[in-house]
Chain A
Amino acid sequence: MPFTFDQKIFDDIEEDHDKWQGKLKSIFSKRPERLERFSTVSDTEINQMYTPEDIRTQDFGKDIGFPGEYPFTRGVQPSMYRGRLWTMRMFAGLGSARDTNLRFHHLVNAGQTGLSTAFDMPTLMGYDSDSSKARGECGKCGVAIDTLKDMEDLFEGLPIEQITTSMTINPPASVIWAMYIAMAETRGIDRKIIGGTIQNDMLKEFVAQKTFMCPPEPSVRIVTDTIEFGTKEIPRWNTISISGYHIREAGSTAVQELAFTLADGIAYTEKALERGLHVDDFAPRFSFFFNSHLDFFEEVAKFRAARRMWAKIMKDRFKAKDPRSWWLRFHTQTAGCSLTAQQPYNNVVRTALQGLAAVMGGTQSLHTNSLDEVLAIPTEEAATIALRTQQIIAEESGVANTIDPLGGSYFVEAFTNRMEEEAFEIIQKIDDMGGMLSAIEKNYPQLEIADAAYHYQKQIDNREKTVVGVNKYVIEDEEIPVEVLEIDEELEKIQIEKTNRVKEQRDNRKVARSLERVAEACAGEENVMEYLIDAAKEYTTVQELCDVYRKVFGEYRDPGIY
């Protein structure tokens, strides 16, 4: 039995532990413990202290091991940050393609090492800037993309053959990706070398982020098309970023974030296998996206548990043989929902701690939120501070100098074990319901999240949970001291004119034909991607293509689960 500890020492420890508990009892009889309950932001209770007793049966080789070795608890690559730092990838998008292009250049010059694109609501929902649904929304929460022309402007002057691009886009992911590929090919860049990620995770839309277009089944079919296409044609691309971030932002606990995300991953794997793909062909290109929230150690434990769980799922459940299929590679974003509008400079500190947790949890890439996220799209200055936060963690704090520095901590290992156990329980529940698609149809994750969100809000209102500057250390009649970014109201008009010009100049017969071909592929079983790329090259718009999806697959409406 290769336990980490010699089992003989536990008798001694137990004795000392009891003695210490005795001391605590007398201390707290004179003055009670600092809080009535000590729990994480997810309301998981935490012990006063952790000792080897809490990880009595830990097997170093089986449970912890070495980075780059199954089950990857300490990291997916053998060299982790000793070899290469995580990618500093700041989520950015505002106004027009040109505006965002400027922001991209600024961030790259400031030292970021990967691109990440935020789109506006109309684009996210598959509408053009001239749609009646887009009124008032153009460019407001991200960049407005209608055609390939916008895509070309967006990446103007950026070395996309060297730098990877992430695009946070879901229902129209296939369309936007097609435009990106078309843009690269128009520049003469081979599709085999472009690298990046499309979020493309529809399951979590129904559960959390709620940008949806078509019902779950056909949405997942399109996702599977992109996975299949990427596996064969765009080998350096992560065709999906299976996300927990939004699930957490919607109010779930850390365990729920972990469980629902991995359950989504299981569902996508099953669908790809049903399609006839071999697990080792597509699984290495699955990537994940997690939240890094307030409770430092809960997050670190979550990340480590995630890696270990996914490795087990891939190896044992899906019998993947290629070690790269067992890797859970992930991007992290610090928790937007934890930031406050009050005393916004405090947010720099929150983001720093959350970024630190992500790094100590072994993330492959990181976005750190800006201090003004709670007010508007970040200003350039605020985004720069957020990037500097990562750079300071990387270069000054020393935490990246050794791999998995928290490994071996009694607390962290115990917490990692606990996260894994509880998350697997939820996954079992979902399996019993028939899998994630079925669970979503039964509204299980949605209701769990709504309950957790309400519970947390009540805890804040009761002051059980502190939010500095909001329910404690409040400044009365505070004047918010920061400049807020504003999107030009004229932008909508300008963008509509631009797109109209593109439509006039393109060959509309070719556009019509390409739309027909996409419709045929959708109605049948052919993979849609090549047809989308062809359509993109003809300057077909996002909405024209998404309308085909809506027509063939039907539209999904919010069922209003509260």
Chain B
Amino acid sequence: MVAKPGLDGHDRGARIIARAYRDAGFEVVYTGLHQTPEEIVEAAIQEDVDMIGMSSLAGAHKYLFKSVVDMLKERDADDIVVCGGGIIPQDDIDMLKAAGVKEIFTPGTTLDDIVTWVKTNVKPR
């Protein structure tokens, strides 16, 4: 699942990564913009996804990404891998990873690298 949490409307990266995942043979559920953490988690469960990738370029990643991780735990769905990308400084990356986000893809990461990471680290079922 590729999701845009919060009010941030910068979706250039999210849409590009969705295409890249498709071209790599994955099935991608794209949620579109302005999703609350609850909506993302609910959709991820209904779609039984292996991974949620979120993007944030407006600074609210700490609250939003962590909310998704926490809610997945509450719903007993923390086998779903959570990743993120966007404008996220190193300190926040450390904090988010400690909170349960598996990886944060910083600007400049190639699509191939992201896809390779997913293939290596996200086991379907």
Contact = CB atoms under 8 A, between A and B. Distances in A.
Interface of A: 121-122, 124-125, 127, 132-137, 140-141, 205, 209-212, 249-251, 337, 340-342, 374-377, 450, 453-454, 457-458, 460-461, 467, 469-471, 480, 484, 486-487, 557-562
Given A136-B60, A249-B12, A450-B15, 7 more contacts: A121-B6, A136-B62, A250-B12, A453-B16, A480-B89, A480-B90, A562-B19
A562 B18 contact: yes
Contacts of B51: none
Nearest to A492: B63
A526 to B, nearest CB: 30
B8 A121 contact: yes
Given A135-B63, A457-B111, A484 B91 contact: yes
A522 B6 CA distance: 28
Given A121-B58, A453-B15, A558 B32 contact: yes
10 contacts: A133-B7, A136-B6, A136-B62, A137-B6, A205-B9, A341-B107, A376-B87, A376-B89, A457-B111, A467-B108
Interface in B16-53: 16, 18-20, 30-34, 36
Given A250-B12, A484-B91, A559 B32 contact: yes
Nearest to B107: A341
A484 B62 CA distance: 15
A341 B36 contact: no
B121 interface: no
Nearest to A251: B12
A249 B10 CA distance: 9
Contacts of B8: 121, 141
**Interface hub of A250, A374, A480 (most chain B Cβ within 10 A):** A374
Nearest to B67: A136
Given A137-B7, A210-B33, A374-B87, A453 B62 contact: no
A121 B91 contact: no
A454 B89 contact: no
**Interface hub of A136, A375, A486, A561 (most chain B Cβ within 10 A):** A136
A124 B33 CA distance: 15
A141 B10 CA distance: 12
A454 B64 contact: no
B63 A557 contact: no
A125 B34 CA distance: 10
B contact face: mostly helix, strand, loop, or mixed: loop
Contact of B7 (A127, A457, A486): A127
B60 A121 contact: yes
Given A122-B7, A137-B60, A211-B9, A557 B107 contact: no
Q: How large is the interface on B (under 10, 10 to 19, 20 to 34, 35 or more residues)?
A: 35 or more
Contacts of B7: 121-122, 124-125, 127, 133-134, 137, 211
B118 to A, nearest CB: 15
Contacts of A484: 89-91
Contacts of B60: 121, 136-137, 140-141
Contacts of B91: 484, 486
Given A137-B58, A140-B60, A461 B112 contact: yes
Nearest to A132: B36
Contacts of B62: 136
**Interface hub of A125, A450, A458, A562 (most chain B Cβ within 10 A):** A562
A205 B32 CA distance: 15
Contacts of A461: 110-112
A212 B89 CA distance: 27
Contacts of B15: 450, 453-454, 561-562
Contacts of A140: 58-60
A489 to B, nearest CB: 8
B12 A557 contact: no
A142 to B, nearest CB: 9
**Interface hub of B7, B20, B30, B90 (most chain A Cβ within 10 A):** B7
Contacts of B111: 457-458, 461
Contacts of A341: 106-108
B70 interface: no
